[in-house]
Amino acid sequence: MLTDDSLALHTDAYQINMIYTYWKQGIDQTPVVFEAYFRKMPFHSGYAIFGGLERIIKTLQKLHFSNDDIVYLNSLKLYDNEFLTYLKNWRLQSTIRAAREGEVMFNNEPLLQVDGPLIDAQLLETLLLNVINFQTLIATKAARIASVTAGQPLLEFGTRRAQELDAALWGTRAAFIAGFDATSNVRAGKLFNIPIAGTHAHALVQAYGNDYDAFHAYATTHKNVVFLVDTFDTLKSGVPNAIKVAKEFGDKINFQGVRIDSGDMAYLSKEIRKSLDKAGFPHAKIYASNDLDENTILNLKIQGAKIDVWGIGTKLITAYDQPALGAVYKMVSINGNNTIKLSNNVGKISTPGKKQIWRITDRKDGKSEGDYLTFYGEDPNNSDSLDMFDPNHPVISKTVRDFVAKPILHDIFVNGQLVYDLPDVFAIKEFSKRSLGSLWDEYKRILNPQTYPVDLAQDLYDAKINLIHKIRKDIMEMDR
Ligand X SMILES: Nc1ncnc2c1ncn2[C@@H]1O[C@H](COP(=O)(O)OP(=O)(O)OP(=O)(O)O)[C@@H](O)[C@H]1O
Q: How far apart are CA 405 and CA 380, in angstroms?
A: 6
Q: What DSSP designation does 336 have?
A: T
**Residue 301 lies near ligand PRP (rule: CB under 6 A):** no
Nearer to ligand X, 265 or 276 (CB): 265
Q: Is 351 in the site for ligand NIO (CB under 6 A)?
A: no
Q: Does 292 bind ligand X (CB under 6 A)?
A: yes
Return the ∠ at Cα 64 (arms to 61 and 69), rounded to 5°: 145
265 binds ligand X (CB under 6 A): yes
Does 157 engage in binding with ligand NIO (CB under 6 A)? yes
Sites for ligand PRP among residues 420-459 (CB under 6 A): none
Looking at residue 11, what DSSP letter applies? S
Whole-angstrom distance, CA of residue 420 vs CA of residue 326:
27
Q: Which of residues 256 and 296 has its CB atom nearest to ligand X in the complex?
A: 296
How many other CB atoms are found less than 10 A from the CB of residue 21? 10
Run of H or E residues at 175? helix 164-177
Q: Which helix (H) or strand (E) holds 374?
A: strand 368-375
Each residue 129-148 as x (binds ligand PRP by CB under 6 A) or -, in order, gives: --------------------
Residues between 174 and 203 with contacts to ligand NIO, criterion CB under 6 A: 184, 198-199
- The least distance separating ligand PRP from the CB of residue 238, rounded to whole angstroms, comes to 13
Q: Kindly state whether residue 301 participates in binding ligand X, applying the rule CB under 6 A.
A: no
410 binds ligand PRP (CB under 6 A): no
Stretch that binds ligand PRP, among 23-31, 286-294, 343-351, 369-377 (CB under 6 A): 286-294
Look at the alpha carbons of 129, 131, 134, 139 in this order and tell me if their dihedral is positive or negative.
Answer: negative
Q: Which of residues 235-264 bind ligand X (CB under 6 A)?
A: 262-264
Can you tell me which of 114, 266, 276, 428 binds ligand X, judged by CB under 6 A?
266
Residue nearest to ligand PRP (CB): 313
Q: Which is nearer to ligand PRP, 200 or 410 (CB)?
A: 200
Asked whether 409 and 113 are in contact (CB, 8 A), the reply is yes
Asked if 178 and 171 count as a contact pair (C-beta separation under 8 A), the reply is no
Smaller CB separation from ligand X, 88 or 202: 202
The DSSP annotation for 263-321 comes to: S-HHHHHHHHHHHHHHTT-TT-EEEE-SS--HHHHHHHHHTT----EEEE-HHHHTTTT
| Adjacent-strand bridge partners of 256 | none
Options 60, 118, 131, 300; binder of ligand X; rule CB under 6 A: 300
Q: Are 209 and 166 in contact (CB under 8 A)?
A: no
Return the number of the residue (184 or 333) whose C-beta is nearest ligand NIO. 184
Q: What's the distance, CA 65 to chain centroid?
A: 28
State the residues that interact with ligand NIO by CB under 6 A. 157, 184, 198-199, 259, 289, 311, 313
